[in-house]
Each structure stands twice: as C-alpha cells, then as structure tokens.
Amino acid sequence: MPKSPSILVIRRDNIGDLLLTTPMFEALRQKFPSAHLAALVNSYNRPILEGNPFLDEVYCYAKAKHVDRWSVPGVLWRRLGMLRRLRRRRFDYVILPNGGPAPRSLRPARWAAPQHIIGYVTPQSEPKSIDLPVWWTRDRALHEVEVAFRLLAPLGIEGPPPRRLQLVPNQEKVAQARASLPAEVASGSGPLVALHISSRKEQQRWPVAYFSNLARRLHLDYEARFLLFWSPGDQSNPQHPGDDKKAEELLSQMEGLPVAPMVTEELPDLISGLTLADCAVLSDGGAMHIAAALGKPLVCFFGNSGSQRWHPWGVAHQILQKESRDVSDITVDEAVAAFARLPVVSKWG
C-alpha cells in the first residue's frame, strides 16, 4: 500500500446517506494525512461536501430527474467528461459505501480503473472487480455510519467511527438568513426551534395541526420562537412534490406566534437556515441528518424507517416511534415531553 494513496469514495444517493459517510472521510485523513481523498456524488447533494476539511476533490454528476428534459443530452456529455477525469486520476482505491452491495456504483468504479475496489459482496453476488471484498451481513444493531465504516478494514482502519458528522455552512448565506428574520423571531429569551414538516414517506408526516399545537405549547412553556421549514413546491408535482400548501396552512394556524417561514429553494438555504436554530423537531430524513451534522439537539419522529440504523449521529436526541410505524400516532403530549428531555432545554425552563 502506498504511503500517500489516492482514494475515491462513491456515494450517489440521498442527503442523509452522504452525510453519514463523512465520518469515513475523517478516518481516512487521520490514517493517511498526505493522501489524495476524493468523493463522487450527485449535483443535488454536492453542497453537503462544500468546505469539507478532509477532502481534496469532489466529482459530481447530475441525475436526469434533477434537470429539465431538454438538458439531458448536455448532462450526459458532461457526465462522460467527468468519468474521463476519474480515469485520468488513476486512483489507487475506490470505496463503495452504499449500505450494502452497490451494483449501480460499481459501474463508475470500474470506469475509473483504480488499482483496487473495496465494496460489500454476498455469496450470491461477488463481482470479480471488487478485489478487496467485505462480506455483507445485515446486522440490525449497526448504524449506517458503522455500516459504511466497516469498509475501511481492508485499509487497516478499524474501531468505532468518529462521533460526529461533517458539514460546513456557507457563512455568507447564514448571515443572509439571520438578517431576514423578523425582529420577534431574531431575538428573545426562549429557544429558536426549527420545525420541518415534510417527508417523502406518508407514514413519516406528522399532521399540521399537531405541529401547530406543539408550537403553542412550547411557546407557552419556554417562550419558544420558530423557524418553519418544508419542501418547496406543489404537492401535485410528480418529480418534486412539495408542501407549500401545508406550510401556508400551518402558518395560518400559528398566527400570533413568533415564526419565520424559511424558503429553501436550494440545499444551501436549508443548511444555512438550520444553522440558526437552537434545536429542531422533525421526522427522519435528510433535514434531520443536516441538523445533526450542525450539532442541533433533536426530537425525531420515526415512522416506517429503522431508528436503530438511521437515528441522528453524534448529537443529543429523543426518538419517538410507535408500534404502528405511523408518526401520526405520536401525540403532541409525547412530543412536548420529549422536548423537555433534551439536555439543553433546562436553561430555558
């Protein structure tokens, strides 16, 4: 093994998955201080890695669903150019931390033509191109961070992963977000609480009326102020369904409370907005992992996703999950009680 290897990590899926890979970057840099470390991600997720202190280079490509259909030929041409750059780099190692065997990520790994490919394999699927295999076993006790971290064993890296995620907010955008807050939200003696009401999965969506009731309770008990986040757009959009209507409804129900609607058309807007919060109440998803990476204490609603594998990493949190695996069965009283158990809440009580 070279003392200063070049290593590419391919993680092409969702926001949370990419964030949960960042402890791997830290461990690689600690093991190989002078290595060339790079990541391959999609263009939508790339802001997650902007300013990452452990990476030297980030390659990205656009998914077809993230571009207008008339732009697809140009996107494909740029993707081909990116793949050519990968091949010219001549990586020593490519790592595929995709939560298990990853046939889709194996294609660009092969194209990069590295000396070695590290990935999960099963007895039924053991591609010859993965010459440094790690046997895949579905261990429900492992967190996704730990699942990814196991792939570093062929490089001599073992033990527990770092207990933090890496995310560097754009300070200019943070300042703009702070300056846009109304006075009654920007200042006050109580906590600034982020409420995120959206989720891709129906069973992960807490009802709007519950959020409204919770906000009134937290304002009464703690003089809480609020930042309201949601996925922008119309709910009928088949590609990117949004919750503009739900946000409008909730803002109406929160009339009289100190609340600022946070418009997040792009991922950096969500990151900078969550940076302002003292804590957050939200469902499992990308926003939850962003808030965790920013060090925010969290109350998390889990529906039909596994809290053992996907819970917030490295921050104080309270998980609420019912046997029905439907977050609408979580009561406002339970959410208020979970909020009160956050370690930082005592200073506002």
Looking at residue 345, its pLDDT comes to 82
**Non-local CB neighbours of 101 within 8 Å, separated by 6+ positions:** 119, 120, 121, 122, 125, 136
Tally Cβ neighbours within 10 Å of residue 117. 25
Instruction: For residue 104, count other CB atoms closer than 10 A to its CB.
Output: 11
The answer to whether the beta carbons of residues 133 and 100 sit under 8 Å apart is no
Cα(55)–Cα(26) distance, integer angstroms: 9
What is the tens place of the pLDDT at every residue in 59-71?
988 765 545 554 6
* pLDDT given at position 77: 59
- pLDDT number for residue 70: 46
Q: Give dist(CA 79, CA 165) in Å, integer.
A: 28
- The pLDDT score that the predictor gives to residue 71 is 66
Tell the residue number behind the tokens 């986040």, with chain if given: 229
Q: Which one, of 272, 265, 275, 228, lies nearest residue 250 by Cα?
A: 228
Q: List CB contacts of 132: < 8 A, sequence separation 6 or more.
A: 93, 116, 117, 118, 154
* pLDDT on residue 176: 96
Nearest partner of 157 among 37, 19, 32, judged by Cα:
32
**C-alpha distances in angstroms, 182 versus 185, 187, 212, 264?**
5, 9, 19, 17
Compute the distance between CA of residue 50 and CA of residue 57 in angstroms, rounded to an integer. 10
With a cut of 70, list the residues of the chain below it in pLDDT: 63-77, 236-240, 349
In sequence order, which residues have a C-beta less than 8 Å from that of residue 65 and are 6 or more positions away? 239
Distance CA 222, CA 204 (A): 26
Rounded to the nearest 10 degrees, the angle between the axes of helix 72-89 and helix 103-112 is 60
The per-residue pLDDT for range 226-259, each reduced to its tens digit, is: 999 999 987 766 666 789 999 999 999 999 999 9
Q: Hey, what are 313's tokens?
A: 């990493």
CA-based nearest residue to 148, from 195, 95, 82: 95
pLDDT in tens, 7-29: 999 998 889 999 999 999 999 99
CB 214 within 8 A of CB 327: no
Q: How crowded is residue 59: how many other Cβ atoms within 10 Å of its Cβ? A: 18
User: Which domains can be identified in the chain, with CATH numbers?
Assistant: 6-155 (3.40.50.2000), 171-347 (3.40.50.2000)
Neighbours of 345 (CB within 10 A): 19
The pTM is what? 0.93
